[in-house]
């Protein structure tokens, strides 16, 4: 029993891994928040994708008119997809990076900049901010992931 506990907690006892766990949970929760924002805009804009979602608005033609796209809903959905495209590489490469033995301070720098950049990206997308606000926040998060991938490949390289 004790042995198992030790095994299961050893990674989580490592400070770099704890930092990775904290920031990964934060960015994944932030990404999950996009589902709620989408639902909010779908309901306030009355713009749905599925006939069964509009049934509470009445039958037939009166409900059918809510089966439509709305610019605000589509904007949140693009933000959500951009999160998937960028946070998935962060989570995957970040795990390998955390296990590649970086200095805690360097690792924290990577995780903090990425997380900050993605939160900024969401605000830039949803407000929306004028370009290059969204573009720059995207590029910063992208560059952090590339930097971590470089460290992973340098440490682990076995083709």
Q: Which residues of the shown chain bind a copy of itself in the complex (CB under 8 A)?
A: 4-5, 7-19, 21-22, 24-26, 28-29, 31-32, 34-35, 49-50, 52-53, 55-56, 75, 78, 80-81, 84-89, 91-93, 95-96, 98-101, 128-131, 134, 138, 142, 145-146, 149, 152-153, 155-159
Cα–Cα distances (Å) from 156 to 118, 148, 149, in that order, read 27, 12, 10
Kindly write down the DSSP assignment for every residue of 84-149, as one continuous string.
HHHHHHHHHHHHHHHTT---HHHHHHHHHHHHHHHHHHHHHHHTTPPTTHHHHHHHHHHHHHHHHH
- Beta carbon nearer to a copy of itself, 22 or 61: 22
Minimum CB–partner distance for residue 91 and a copy of itself (Å): 5
Least distance (Å) between residue 73 CB and a copy of itself: 13
Q: Work out how close the CB of 29 gets to a copy of itself at its nearest, in angstroms, rounded to a whole number.
A: 6
Rounded to a whole number of angstroms, the minimum distance from the CB of residue 146 to a copy of itself is 7
Name the residue among 142, 120, 143, 146 with its Cα closest to residue 133. Answer: 120
């Amino acid at each position: 029993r004790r042995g198992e506990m030790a095994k299961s907690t050893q990674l989580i006892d490592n400070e770099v891994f704890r930092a990775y766990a904290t920031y990964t949970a934060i960015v994944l929760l932030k990404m999950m928040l996009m589902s709620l924002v989408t639902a909010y805009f779908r309901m306030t804009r009355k713009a749905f994708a599925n006939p069964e979602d509009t049934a509470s608005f009445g039958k037939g033609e009166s409900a059918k008119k809510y089966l439509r796209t709305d610019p605000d809903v589509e904007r949140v959905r693009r933000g959500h997809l951009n999160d998937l495209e960028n946070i998935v590489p962060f989570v995957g490469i970040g795990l390998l990076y955390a296990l590649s033995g970086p200095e805690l301070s360097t690792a924290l720098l990577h995780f903090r900049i990425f997380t900050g950049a993605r939160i900024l990206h969401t605000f830039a997308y949803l407000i929306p901010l004028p370009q290059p606000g969204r573009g720059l926040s995207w590029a910063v998060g992208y560059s952090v992931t590339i930097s971590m991938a470089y460290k992973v490949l340098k440490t682990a390289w076995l083709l």
